[in-house]
Amino acid sequence: CLFFCFYAGICSALKLTVPSHTIHGIEGQPLHLTVDYNFNATASEIQIIWLFERPQSNPKYLLGSVNQRVVPDLEYQHKFTLIPPNASLMINPLHISDEGNYIVKVNVHGNGTIAASQKIQVAVDVPVTKPIVHTEPSSGVVEYVGNITLKCTVEKGTRVIYQWMKNGKPLHASPNYTFSSNNATLLIVPVVKEDIGNYSCLVSNAVSAMESEIIAPTIYYGPYGLRVKSDKGLNIGAVFTVDMGEVILFDCSADSNPPNTYSWIQRADNTTHVIKYGPHLEVVSDKVAQKTIDYMCRAFNNVTGKRDETHFTVIVTSVGLEKLAQKGKSLSSLAVITGISLFVILAMSFLFIWKKYQPHKVKNMFMFSRPETDYRKAQTFSGHESALDDFGIYEFVAIPGLASGSRVSSQSVPGSDFVPGQDMLSTVYEVIQHIPEQLQ
């Protein structure tokens, strides 16, 4: 365009644009080649021309227009469409034979002629169909011994790109993984346990993408990580401690494909013998002849031919019996204390009832007074050693309740100063002092 402007002396420019210089179309479907152009010169004629060229061949005229009058090549008049003043081209339908370079040229004639052209490469693709993955061998392989080959095929598709996936993530080359030149084949050499997973093949081209069904190759391995667990008892390393009388259940497990076969072996007196087959072993502690027993669990994979063993010891203790005896002693002591407490309570209750309901006794006393004195004192019937001392007036006084050991309180005798701790005779004397004068 700049060359033409310089040659014709016209400074007006023609701008011709296309969205992409390479466009992918789908076979059997229409393809629209979009072209835009603009200029700022006075135009009396506008000419649009479309040409087609294949590699190593001369361009062929498809169709053209002058001032919106279309002049097609009669050979392609039903395949290509141009609607001026738009310069875009419609190809319908698109076939593989339509692949090549499409050249568009626009000429604008006014005071002079300006021209511009663009080239578009058209690629025609066939959408890919769903791929299928084949595994060799299909029966499975043993790790470190066999190899696996995965082949991905598609029935239809052009310019197919192959990508292998493992567990949903792209798989890349590594010491174990080798790919063919177009990535359609994956070779795993040698096979190991870590190669277990879900494989799939993703195929794509510029116009489509499809993924195969997931396939999980069969890999035989193991046994790995053999261990023994128990449902009770104290476990310290390879030693299990269990109380006498308890039943302990052991479980033996290991990672393996196919599943292992298990055997339980008891060791005694430098000899071994199989006591049970299967992953579980039950030991009744009060039925064993020894307090320390050595066992062994053996796991065997009959496909890989490998086996593993683990040893452990069971120690039977009498802690449980001692706890039971201590519990019995505690119960016996509690029973004795409870019995004594009940006896004391019953005795106190009986004494309280007996005191409450016994008959009141009357203590007989004599009241003694001398004529020459105005005081009296209580005296028991025993008297004095001297007869002169016993001379006087005697009165019989009966005081209820004294037989029970009760005292006469200061509230019973008005005006008295009763002091706790006085003897009984002093109390009687105080009572006599308050007898009315006429009774004397």
What is the spatial distance between Cα 136 and Cα 146, in angstroms, rounded to a whole number?
10
Residue 308 identity: D
**Confidence at residue 352, expressed as pLDDT on a 0 to 100 scale:** 74
- Residue 275's nearest CA partner among 289, 262, 287 is 262
The whole-number pLDDT of residue 337 equals 75
How high is the pLDDT of residue 357? 67
User: In the prediction, which pLDDT does 181 show?
Assistant: 94
Query: What pLDDT score was predicted for residue 225?
Result: 94
Using alpha carbons, select from 437, 438, 432, 377 the residue that is nearest to residue 408. 432
The pLDDT value given to residue 192: 95
- Distance CA(51)–CA(76), nearest Å, equals 11
- Domains annotated for the chain, with CATH where assigned, are 15-125 (2.60.40.10), 132-217 (2.60.40.10), 221-320 (2.60.40.10)
Asked if the peptide bond before residue 84 counts as cis, ω within 30 degrees of 0, the response is no
DSSP states along 130-196: PPEEEEESSS-EETTT--EEEEEE-SS-SS-EEEEEETTEE----SSEEE-TTS-EEEESS--GGG-
Measured distance CA(281)–CA(155) in Å, rounded: 56
What is the pairing mode between strands 261-268 and 234-236? unpaired
Q: What pLDDT, in 10s, does the model give residues 227-239?
A: 999 887 666 667 8
| pLDDT < 50 regions, the chain | 1-11, 320-325, 327-329, 331, 360-369, 371-388, 390-391, 394, 396-440
Residue 118 is predicted with a pLDDT of 96
Using an 8 Å Cβ cutoff, are 272 and 264 in contact? Answer: no
d(CA 141, CA 149): 11
Question: What is the β-pairing status of strands 14-17 and 376-379?
Answer: unpaired
Question: What pLDDT score was predicted for residue 4?
Answer: 38
Burial 47-58 (b: 16+ CB within 10 A, else e): bbbbbbeeeeee
Query: How far, in Å, are 273, 342, 382, 385, 387 from residue 391 at the CA level?
Result: 116, 58, 14, 12, 7
Amino acid at 222: G
Please name the residue that has the structure tokens 């014709």: 8
Contact 231, 248 (CB under 8 A): yes
**Integer Cα distance of 397 and 112 in angstroms:** 170
